[in-house]
Each structure stands twice: as structure tokens, then as C-alpha cells.
């Protein structure tokens, strides 16, 4: 196992954290589609319609109001069709107070109230009209009892739930074009004229979209379906949008359409509540995850695209290193506490053994979980976590060695050679560490060898639970952690079985060595 872990890692052509990648075709989101249920606002050239006005428009239409105010400007509404509204601004010109048939005009703005405006107002009131025109400017009359308000009306925007889609990226679908197209739709007309160009309109049988043609070619469409690309700078052709709408109507899961290169491509259509997602296959570089064993990767790759055999080698280094470091820490502390306690006895022995009892009573696993959670919270570096794990396991696991050393020294200190060291004046530290401890070494070796397997199992358990060795460092425990995923457990045996086998082989090996050493050092086994 030492050769496999330490020598194998040196001769492996791959690194511990080297990620292997491959070229693959994956399904990625390409476009989104939904039947539009929100108003789309189009502002007239040279006009402004603020976001606050859009919110007030929604409130006004819900309440059935004909006017609303936003940012100090009063706007009027005209319902021109189903879910199609014209929005006008109302600039006050004058207030008119009429008493006994005589009208008094009070200017409300900077505009001058001319005689022509007065005559137009009087004529409109006498004919019970709400608007009149003077010098090409349309004025509106807002009646409120005896005092009326004269305002200049001008269309600043319109709101509709219809979606316009251009056939080409350079098609000009401005305010006037869309307004004339919507007016023609509402009036049932088959054509309209904009900027001296005549456009024909037609709705194909079985389809909801209306095609607008120019010179016999499709120029734009009007539909209730909003199809938008997922990435910026991507232009979706009309044929693609029509294919999406047809697939939605037919409830198809796939459809074919021309892509941006003019090539026919197959797309997936997925439904998410009221949203539709269009996906296409893209050639991309991805991690070569869970690759089966091959000549390049003898034990395959893991979920991160790393070579499993190399990870097992480096994982063996960490698992064995933790085992030996922890045993050394336990041995040093146990020898010191047990040696001093066994040699001096009395109150020193009593105090030290009570300390041993306290440490034994500490619930080890909850302590490991708490410390692991604290290190996770503070995002401790993975390398420091390894050192901390060694220290924690060593500090908690020394009492058994201390008790064994104490028991052996209690019997050895009454032997004749210890009486001789006391008679010759050998200092206390030399008596303990030069004459007593060496006689305990055989038993220590046996306990340490058999304890190595337990430490490796504990490290594997903690790493499996996610509170031990962390990525990118490998240990046999965090490699076996992959079995938390049932899909990996049942389909990719090469990810976890080799690591589990190495843990089993190593622990059995150390246990067999410990049993052999115990038999070798046991005088009763010798004939």
C-alpha cells in the first residue's frame, strides 16, 4: 500500500487535481417563448412616456378611468380595439368659466388664448363636441360643471399586447408603422400605407399570426406569441418563430427550423408552467465525467473529470499520513501521561487518571461534526483542515495508550532493576524514559499497529460525511463519498468500489500485522 500510494503517485503521468475534458454536443437554452399577457408600449418619435406613466396606465385601465397623471403630466386614453390603447398627453391651455351664457377665459399655460381658439371652443360646445381644431392643432375639452378645461392633445404612445416580429434585422418597425398596422387590423382592412409604401396584410388559415408583406415578400408579422433569444445579439428569423408557434400549437416536443446560418436544425421544446423553452445542441467542451475504465484511465474518471487511479494514489498518501501522524500524537501524549501517572502514583496518579476519564467521556463524533461545521463556516483552507483533523483525532484518542502505559509501569517499577536505579541515584526522568518506557515499547507497537486501522476508518468516515478532508485533496473517504448519489452508486461502480477495497485491504493489513506482533512479543506463545 505504501508503494501504491507514494511511489505510484510519483510515476503517475497525471496530477492529483488534473481535470480531463472532452468535446460533446449538449442541449442548451436557445430561445424562450410565451403568449404575451403584458402591455407593450411604443412611444412616438420625439415624445416621452415615463415608466411611472406605464404603471399609472395599468391602474387607469383596471379602474376604467379615461385619464391619469404621471410626473405632473395628464394623459388621456382612447380604446382603439381589443387590448389596444392610444395614449395622449393633455397640455392645459385655458380654463373657461361660463355664467349666463358668457364665457371667461383664463390662460392655464404659456400658450396664448387667441380669438380663433375661443371661436372653435364656442362652436364645439354648441355642437356638444369634445374636440376642435385650430391651425392644424387639435384641442380637447374636459367638462367639469360650469368650468371647462381646454387642452392640447397629442398622441405620445400606444399600448398593445400584440407582438411585432421583423423578417430581417434591418427592417424598420417604428411607431407609425406599428400604429397603422394595428389600426388596419382593428378595422378589418387588408392593407395600409406608411411613408408612401403599401403593405398587404393576411392571416393564413390555421394560424394566429398575421403576415405583413411588402412587394410580395414577408416584411413582418403580428402575433400574440413573444419569442426572444436567450443570448444577446441573436436575431430570430420569422420562419423560426413560426415553427415555434406551430410546435406549441401541435404540442410537439421537437421541431425543425432554419438556424442563423440558413441550415436546417432540430430543436427541443420544453414547457415550464406558461413558459416555453427552445433548446438546441451545441458543440462544447465539458469535463470528462464518469468515463468508463480505458487505456487512458485504467479506473475511469470521477464526477469532476479527474483520473480515478491517480486520485486513489494521492488519497492513500493522505489516509496513511493521517493514520501515522494521529498514532504518533496519541503515543506521545499517552506515554507522557501514563508514564508519569504510573511511576509517581498517589495523588499525581489520581489527578491524571481523572483527566483520562474526562477525555474518554467526550462524545467524539459530535465533537468532530461541530468542529467540521465551524471550519466549513469560516472556510478553512483544505490543507489546514488536514492538520486540524490529525490534531483533533490525536488529542481525543490518547487515553487508551495512557492507561496501558500506566498499567505496565505500575508493575515494572517494583522490579529489581528499578530498585537498583533508585539506589544508584539515577534521576527520575531517566528512570521513566530510559528504563521503564523501553520495556513498554513492544506493547505500544502492537497497540499502535492495530490502532492505525481504526484511525484510517475514522478518517474515511469523517471524509465520507463531508467534515474531513476536503476537495481538491483526495482521501479514500471523500472518494467513497460519491455513493451519496444513488445514480452514481448503481451505474458507476469504478468510482467507489476501488476506494472501499483499498480501505478494507489497508485496515486488514494493519490488523494482521498487529496480531502478528502481539503473538511475537507474547512470551506465552514462545516454546
Question: For 230-272, how does the pLDDT look when each residue is reduced to its tens digit (9 = 90+)?
Answer: 888 788 888 888 888 888 888 888 999 888 777 888 999 988 7
Decide: 159 and 38 in contact? Cβ < 8 Å: no
Tell me how far apart the alpha carbons of residues 459 and 503 are, in angstroms, rounded to a whole number.
Answer: 11
| CB neighbour list of residue 218: distance below 8 Å, 6 or more residues apart | 167, 211, 212, 238
pLDDT at 356: 94
Question: For 36-58, how does the pLDDT look when each residue is reduced to its tens digit (9 = 90+)?
Answer: 888 999 998 877 888 888 999 99
φ/ψ region of 365 (left if φ > 0, alpha if ψ in -120 to 50, else beta) reads alpha
Mean pLDDT, rounded, for 463-468: 83
Check: pTM over 0.85? Answer yes or no.
Answer: no
- pLDDT at position 34 over 70: yes
- DSSP-derived 3-state class of residue 488: helix
Question: For 183-201, how does the pLDDT look when each residue is reduced to its tens digit (9 = 90+)?
Answer: 998 888 889 998 888 999 9
Mean pLDDT, rounded, for 20-42: 89
- pLDDT at position 525 over 60: no
- pLDDT at position 291 over 90: yes
Residue 321 burial (CB < 10 Å; 0-12/13-18/19+)? middle
- pLDDT at position 398 over 60: yes
- pLDDT at position 505 over 90: yes
pLDDT at 21: 93
Question: What b/e string do you get for 269-294 counting C-beta neighbours within 10 Å, with b at 16 or more?
Answer: beeeeeebbbbbeeeeeebbbbbeee
pLDDT at 103: 82
Decide: 490 and 334 in contact? Cβ < 8 Å: no
CA dihedral 42, 43, 44, 47 (to 10 degrees): 180
Tell me how far apart the alpha carbons of residues 116 and 130 are, in angstroms, rounded to a whole number.
Answer: 16
Mean pLDDT, rounded, for 163-179: 87
Where residue 527 falls among pLDDT bands split at 50, 70, 90?
very low
Closest CA to 141 of 88, 71, 107, 93: 93
Tell me how far apart the alpha carbons of residues 308 and 203 are, in angstroms, rounded to a whole number.
Answer: 61
- pLDDT at position 355 over 50: yes
Question: For 359-393, how does the pLDDT look when each residue is reduced to its tens digit (9 = 90+)?
Answer: 999 898 898 888 888 888 888 888 898 999 899 99
- Residue where the block lists cell 488529542: 395
pLDDT at 294: 93
Tell me how far apart the alpha carbons of residues 75 and 90 are, in angstroms, rounded to a whole number.
Answer: 6
Mean pLDDT, the chain, whole residue set: 86
Amino acid at each position: 500500500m505504501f508503494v501504491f500510494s507514494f511511489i505510484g503517485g510519483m510515476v503517475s503521468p497525471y496530477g492529483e487535481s488534473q481535470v480531463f475534458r472532452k468535446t460533446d454536443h449538449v442541449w442548451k437554452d436557445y430561445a424562450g417563448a410565451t403568449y404575451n399577457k403584458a402591455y407593450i408600449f411604443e412611444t412616438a418619435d420625439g415624445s416621452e412616456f415615463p415608466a411611472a406613466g406605464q404603471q399609472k396606465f395599468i391602474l387607469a385601465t383596471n379602474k376604467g378611468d379615461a385619464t391619469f397623471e404621471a410626473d405632473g403630466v395628464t394623459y388621456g386614453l382612447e380604446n382603439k380595439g381589443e387590448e389596444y390603447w392610444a395614449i395622449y398627453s393633455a397640455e392645459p391651455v385655458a380654463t373657461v368659466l361660463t355664467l349666463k351664457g358668457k364665457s371667461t377665459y383664463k390662460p392655464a399655460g404659456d400658450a396664448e388664448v387667441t380669438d380663433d381658439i375661443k371661436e372653435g371652443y364656442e362652436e364645439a360646445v354648441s355642437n356638444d363636441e369634445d374636440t376642435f381644431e385650430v391651425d392644424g392643432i387639435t384641442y380637447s375639452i374636459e367638462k367639469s360643471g360650469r368650468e371647462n378645461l381646454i387642452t392640447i392633445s397629442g398622441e405620445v404612445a400606444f399600448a398593445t399586447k400584440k407582438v411585432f416580429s421583423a423578417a430581417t434585422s434591418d427592417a424598420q418597425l417604428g411607431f407609425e408603422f406599428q400604429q397603422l398596422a394595428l389600426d388596419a387590423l382593428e378595422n378589418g382592412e387588408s392593407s395600409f400605407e406608411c411613408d408612401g409604401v403599401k403593405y398587404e396584410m393576411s392571416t393564413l388559415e390555421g394560424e394566429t399570426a398575421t403576415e405583413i408583406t411588402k412587394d410580395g415578400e414577408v416584411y413582418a408579422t403580428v402575433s400574440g406569441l413573444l419569442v426572444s433569444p436567450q443570448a444577446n445579439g441573436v436575431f430570430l428569423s420569422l420562419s423560426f418563430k413560426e415553427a415555434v408557434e406551430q410546435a406549441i400549437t401541435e404540442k410537439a416536443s421537437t421541431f425543425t427550423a432554419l438556424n442563423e446560418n440558413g441550415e436546417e436544425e432540430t430543436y427541443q421544446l420544453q414547457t415550464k408552467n406558461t413558459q416555453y423553452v427552445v433548446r438546441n445542441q451545441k458543440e462544447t467542451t465539458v469535463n470528462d465525467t464518469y468515463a468508463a475504465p480505458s487505456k487512458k484511465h485504467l479506473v475511469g474518471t470521477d464526477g469532476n473529470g479527474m483520473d480515478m487511479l491517480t486520485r486513489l494514489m494521492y488519497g492513500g498518501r493522505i489516509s496513511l499520513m493521517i493514520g501515522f501522524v494521529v498514532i504518533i500524537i496519541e503515543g506521545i501524549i499517552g506515554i507522557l501521561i501514563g508514564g508519569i501517572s504510573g511511576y509517581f502514583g498517589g495523588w499525581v496518579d489520581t489527578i491524571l487518571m481523572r483527566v483520562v476519564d474526562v477525555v474518554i467521556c467526550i462524545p467524539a463524533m459530535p465533537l468532530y461534526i461541530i468542529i467540521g461545521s465551524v471550519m466549513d463556516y469560516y472556510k478553512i483552507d483544505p490543507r489546514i483542515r488536514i492538520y486540524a483533523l490529525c490534531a483533533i483525532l490525536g488529542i481525543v484518542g490518547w487515553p487508551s495508550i495512557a492507561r496501558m502505559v500506566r498499567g505496565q509501569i505500575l508493575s515494572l517499577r517494583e522490579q529489581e532493576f528499578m530498585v537498583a536505579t533508585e539506589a544508584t541515584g539515577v534521576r527520575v526522568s531517566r528512570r521513566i524514559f530510559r528504563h521503564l518506557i523501553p520495556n513498554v515499547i513492544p506493547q505500544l507497537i502492537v497497540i499502535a499497529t492495530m490502532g492505525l486501522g481504526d484511525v484510517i476508518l475514522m478518517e474515511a468516515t469523517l471524509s465520507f460525511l463531508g467534515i474531513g478532508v476536503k476537495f481538491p485533496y483526495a482521501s479514500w473517504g471523500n472518494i467513497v463519498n460519491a455513493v451519496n448519489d444513488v445514480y452514481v452508486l448503481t451505474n458507476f461502480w469504478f468510482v467507489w468500489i476501488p476506494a472501499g477495497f483499498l480501505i478494507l485491504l489497508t485496515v486488514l493489513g494493519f490488523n494482521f500485522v498487529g496480531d502478528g506482533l502481539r503473538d511475537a512479543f507474547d512470551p506465552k506463545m514462545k516454546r
